Amino acid sequence: MNLPGKTVERLSEYRRTLLGCLAEKKNYIFSHDLASRLHITAVQVRRDLMLIGYSSVQRKGYDVKELIETIGSIIDSEVSMNVAIIGMGNFGRAVAGYFKGKRSKLNLVASFDTDTQKIGKVISGVRCYPLSEMEAMIRDMDIRIAIITVPPDYAREIAGEAVRYGIKGILNFTTVPLNVPSWVFLEEYDMITSIEKVAYFVKENVV
């Protein structure tokens, strides 16, 4: 199914919210309730779920468990996909922490760093390897996704290497925009943009 990027983002958010509902022992949810928890419109929710062929049970809303499974069947890969973090500074360790204890089709199987203090150790639940082993590890462990959290000056070089070694998707958390070949999916997030956005709206006081 070829969904737009924004829809995939929302499906991911729906699922996380629905998992929260399950934890609250809430088994059914109306589109407007799901929508308000995510600060979007109920129309948006219904449109997205229609797109993946899901509809609500009359008068009860969506079946939470069923919807979690439906979303999973669409956005998750059927077999597990291996992920690596490149750069185990504070940000890299924060990202690794997010994977801990998650029942997911995404396996964080390795991290890479140049710091000899880190290499060989398990940090935030994942073993750290030297950058020199990146090529062999990506190939041997079939690592498809690289999360890049290296210092900005190394971002381009590291991304280039990861792509040459066979990485198919990159999540770039550095402040440096990357260029990748057309067969690699690139997602970039720069927290400065979010911070400056908040500052702008606080300044303008237009909320």
CB 60 within 8 Å of CB 11: no
Tell the residue number behind the tokens 């203090």, with chain if given: 117
- Whose Cβ is closer to a copy of itself: residue 53's or residue 58's? 53
Residue 54 to residue 89: CA distance in whole angstroms? 41
Shortest spacing between CB 162 and a copy of itself, in angstroms: 13
- Whose Cβ is closer to a copy of itself: residue 147's or residue 159's? 147
- Whose Cβ is closer to a copy of itself: residue 43's or residue 195's? 195
Across the beta sheet with 169-172, the strand order is 122-123, 126-130, 106-113, 81-86, 143-148, 169-172, 185-188
The footprint of a copy of itself (CB under 8 A) covers 1-3, 5, 8-9, 12-13, 16-17, 20, 37-39, 75-77, 81, 83, 89-91, 93-95, 97-98, 105-106, 124, 144-145, 147, 168-171, 173, 175-177, 182-187, 189-207
Shortest spacing between CB 9 and a copy of itself, in angstroms: 5
Quote the radius of gyration of the chain (alpha carbons, Å). 19
Shortest spacing between CB 203 and a copy of itself, in angstroms: 4
How many CB atoms are located within 10 Å of the residue 46 CB?
Answer: 18
- Whose Cβ is closer to a copy of itself: residue 57's or residue 196's? 196
- Whose Cβ is closer to a copy of itself: residue 12's or residue 41's? 12
Shortest spacing between CB 34 and a copy of itself, in angstroms: 11
Shortest spacing between CB 66 and a copy of itself, in angstroms: 19
- Whose Cβ is closer to a copy of itself: residue 58's or residue 77's? 77
Q: Residues with Cβ < 8 Å from 49, sequence gap 6 or more?
A: 14, 31, 55, 62, 67
What H or E segment, with its residue span, contains residue 130?
strand 126-130
Angle formed at CA 177 by CA 171 and CA 182, multiple of 5 degrees = 65
Shortest spacing between CB 59 and a copy of itself, in angstroms: 26
